Structure 1
């Protein structure tokens, strides 16, 4: 890989992904963009690899996956995300993603998965591979678009939120970065259609997702 584009809106996470890309591919030129618009304007440069976040401030990363597949087939597109549900996974694959990596993995594993591209190994997180196999076997279940279906990791984060943990505490408890924890919280709020911790806990209790022994502080 000689040239890489990292598309990620969170500054800390973007810096982290740039460092991962440079570790996996020493000597590569690594550019970065925080928005869909900015990323689209750069694609004519002809990147070998694009690391694409799905949640961007001006649209979905799926849109740029479609552009890459149609207009820049020589760019190897890999999703880097916190979303480990079927809806996001299969939407990304249909749009042209050649890999799907979850950000909450250990750094060393992510670097190894990226290095595997040179050997022809698809960069897929273990849980993602299992989902694809289940789907191909006919066992995947599709969730309703508006259903508050949380992933296992989101349930863990929600449980900690209900106990009064902030994003830094959640990060330490789950051995992930505070920014990754914040991303999970953002996803939980979106799925539950709420804007804050107290609302999220009330909705979660109503759905039976957490018990009543919570702490709103």
Structure 2
């Protein structure tokens, strides 16, 4: 487990959770070249949980398959204890069991290790800014599952305001907070307030979870 003490900065503060040292080193070098500070490195899930507690990063870049505690369980613990810490999954796996377990655990994004450097950096910046990012193959799985005619709500739908639904529909299309604000003639801060209200009503901690939940309940339709 490695930590780095940094002075005050507006740069995104990231912890990398990855059991392969070479991958950690390469990812750290990539991020720091783009002005993103890597303040800690974890070689297993338990260390990731410890560093989340100790360093309070803006974001944890989380692998799926790690010793001691896998990325799914580590994400669950981190999001339960520190809901403000964003989790972005960087994995070689796109199996349904991993994808949906991690998104339901609270991960705000899921990208694959074959992504280009710019994709990884942009995903880190977007998720740290409160947005959701899914690799194209992952997004396809999500759409396939939640636009299926057999998908029916299991519980009564929480009541969302018309404006909250407007925000959620645009979030489901991958729009940034700034873009949503422009389209709805709101301030970015107001958009964030609406998203926070939606999170509270759904009992979730990220945009991705909120969109998945809304699709499952039939509150939004991505074909609109």
TM range (shorter): 0.5 to 0.7
TM-score (norm 2): 0.57
On the 8 A contact 1:23/1:111 being kept in 2, the answer is no
Q: 1:73 to 1:12 in 2, by over 3 A?
A: same
1:12 and 2:18 correspond: no
Q: Matches of 1:117 and 1:59 in 2, distance apart?
A: 23
On the 8 A contact 2:108/2:131 being kept in 1, the answer is no
Q: 1:139 to 1:79 in 2, by over 3 A?
A: farther
Query: Which of 77, 87, 97 is the aligned partner of 1:77?
Result: 87
After TM superposition, give the deviation of residue 106 of structure 1 in Å: 1.6
Query: Which of 99, 103, 108 is the aligned partner of 1:93?
Result: 103
After TM superposition, give the deviation of residue 118 of structure 1 in Å: 5.2
Deviations 1:20-57 (A, max 9, x none): 33244x15243111012222221222111001111012
RMSD: 2.0
Query: Which of 52, 61, 64 is the aligned partner of 1:43?
Result: 52
After TM superposition, give the deviation of residue 2 of structure 1 in Å: 3.4
The total of aligned residue pairs comes to: 139
| Structure 1 counterpart SS, 2:134 | coil
**Which contiguous aligned blocks of 4+ residues in structure 1 show a shift greater than 6 angstroms?**
none
Q: Matches of 2:38 and 2:25 in 1, distance apart?
A: 14
After TM superposition, give the deviation of residue 122 of structure 1 in Å: 1.3
TM-score (norm 1): 0.59
After TM superposition, give the deviation of residue 68 of structure 1 in Å: 1.4
